[in-house]
């Protein structure tokens, strides 16, 4: 399963893509496929604070409800409100149109501690 190398990962299946001082966060194809049809993504408000390794949202599918985590701390600058009407975007395009939040990071160095694509695949047994 393709896992883009231009981002950093958590073992809990979130991806993080840094552009300037803003990190875009979503979940991987592996996670989206495991969840099956996603029915709801609970997103934070713009301006909300996100802490590293703390839950900032929830994702629901026909199968289960799970917390969403971030590997970095910061302030939410944008949310993908398309997901309210069409949560299935996370299934169809998890690394693109299925992105969830953008976070202005307090310390971009935190990203270095996250998993590379190879490490993520290894950790999750794929």
Residues within the interface to another protein (CB under 8 A): 12-14, 27, 31, 33-37, 39-40, 58-60, 62-69, 87, 91, 125
Report d(CA 59, CA 117) in Å as an integer: 22
Please state, in angstroms and rounded to a whole number, the distance separating the CA atoms of residues 75 and 21. Answer: 11
Q: Considering beta carbons, is residue 66 or 110 the nearer one to another protein?
A: 66
Taking the least distance from each CB to another protein, the nearer of 21 and 58 is 58
Please give the Cα distance from 8 to 15 (Å, whole number): 6
Cβ of residue 38: shortest distance to another protein, in angstroms?
10
Q: How far is the CB of 28 from another protein (least distance, A)?
A: 10
């Amino acid at each position: 399963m393709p896992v883009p190398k231009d981002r950093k990962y958590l073992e809990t299946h979130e991806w993080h893509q840094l552009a300037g001082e803003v990190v875009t966060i979503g979940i991987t194809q592996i996670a989206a496929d495991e969840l099956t049809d996603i029915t709801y993504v609970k997103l934070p408000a713009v301006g909300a604070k996100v802490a590293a390794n703390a839950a900032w949202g929830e994702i629901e599918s026909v199968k289960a409800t799970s917390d969403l985590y971030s590997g970095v701390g910061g302030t939410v600058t944008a949310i993908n409100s398309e997901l309210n009407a069409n949560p299935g975007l996370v299934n169809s395009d998890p690394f693109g149109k299925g992105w969830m939040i953008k976070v202005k990071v307090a310390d971009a160095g935190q990203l270095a501690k996250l998993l590379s694509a190879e490490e993520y695949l290894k950790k999750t047994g794929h």
